[in-house]
Amino acid sequence: MAKDDIAWSDEEMHGSTKQERSAERMAPLFEHYVSLIGGGEDERTNLADMLADWMHWAKENEVDFDAALSSAQMHYEHEHDDPDDELADLNDDENDEG
């Protein structure tokens, strides 16, 4: 899968909300991952496998997966609370802490 195969910018997306565009952006990445592992299980199992692989990657690359997951959860909640707001202030706060 080439980078050009994925719509990265909001202008290239079809979803009407940030959440829809984020999900749309992730779909080809998820589908590609599933094809690499030969996944045939349900999407929940494939997602769990993908997250476990990210955990392995994080450990090998000395990245704090739990901190990244906590940040992701905060971003997700913020986007659902205020879907039109960009995360500039939230990202600034995180960078100040680390």
To the nearest whole percent, how much of the chain has pLDDT over 90? 45
For the chain, give every domain's residue range: 14-63, 64-98
Residues 6 or more apart whose CB falls under 8 angstroms from that of 97 comprise none
Q: Residue 92 — very low, low, confident or very high, per pLDDT cuts 50/70/90?
A: low
Each residue's pLDDT tens digit, 27-56: 999 999 999 999 877 999 999 999 999 999
